[in-house]
Amino acid sequence: MKHETVRTSSFAMPLTSPAFPPGPYRFVNREYFIIQYRTDPEALRRVVPEPLELTEAVVNYEFIRMPDSTGFGDYTESGQVIPVTYKGQLGGFTHQMFLNDHPPIAGGRELWGFPKKLAQPKLEVEIDTLVGTLNYGSVRIATGTMGYKHRALDAAAEARKLAAPNFLLKIIPHVDGTPRICELVRYHLEDITVKGAWTGPAALDLYSHALAPVAELPVLQVLSAKHIVADLTLGLGAVVHDYLAAGQATPQRAGALTAANAG
């Protein structure tokens, strides 16, 4: 294969059979179950990177069911999004995500920088209750419940909230273990049609796990919950801050980090 062929055909890995196709990425009947809860502000400060700023000590815990998505197929994900501001602009910082499908894990990490890991989330209706669960291996780490469609919400207002900017920390290492890319990325959801939105009484339990530390942002008080069904397009991103740009701190090599941690 010629050098120019490699350069022009490179989109994702593997070169000759990418794990995901080029976009746009359209989602039909995407189903959200979002529980907002109050947490420890010091715990939030430890995980939200500058130049993002915290708005209040709350977290949105999300279960998302995606039965029909371009190129990614049928899957479910779950994770935590933290309300933040960037230069005065309100948005959300995606802290961690867990899902059960390889193409969106690979695409999410490589294209945008979504912090995705493999796990087993579920979102379903059990009689009169909307139930979201997340297992990491055989271990349950999150359970959310809400009364099913107790009260309708304003669909237009929920569409505007979904259109707010979202922020990600994209990290790709160099072959020697040092950071090659370390960027703050902003993206938007686009062409949003909210088909329904509801709220109801809700509860959320998070459990400790060494490799899926959702409980490190503890639930102090459940504030609200909502269930949304929408069609939308996942827009591509833009880099808004480069942590490796001139004037930033020089990254340590992986060996130095290991030695420092060992000490």
pLDDT in tens, 148-196: 999 999 999 999 999 999 999 999 999 999 999 999 999 999 999 999 9
pLDDT above 50 for 261: no
Residue 74's pLDDT is what? 97
Q: Is the Cβ–Cβ distance between 1 and 23 less than 8 Å?
A: no
Catalytic hit among 2, 87, 116, 195: 116
For the question of residue 116 being annotated catalytic, the response is yes
Strands 179-187 and 116-118: unpaired
> What are the CA-CA distances from residue 147 to residues 80, 111, 235 (Å)?
21, 36, 32
What percent of the chain shows pLDDT beyond 70?
94
Residue 155's pLDDT is what? 97
Residue 78's pLDDT is what? 98
**Rounded CA separation 138/191 (Å):** 37
Q: Which residue has the tokens 């505007």?
A: 160
Q: Which of 116-120, 183-187, 245-249, 253-257 has the lowest mean pLDDT?
A: 253-257
pLDDT above 90 for 257: no
State whether residue 43 is helix, strand or coil.
helix
Decide: pTM greater than 0.75. yes
**Nearest residue to 78 (alpha-carbon basis) of 26, 24, 123:** 123
What percent of the chain shows pLDDT beyond 90?
92
**Rounded CA separation 230/69 (Å):** 12
Taking only the tens place, the pLDDT of each residue in 3-60 is 999 999 899 999 999 999 999 999 999 999 999 999 999 999 999 999 999 999 999 9
> For the chain, what is the radius of gyration of the CA atoms?
19
Average pLDDT for the chain: 93
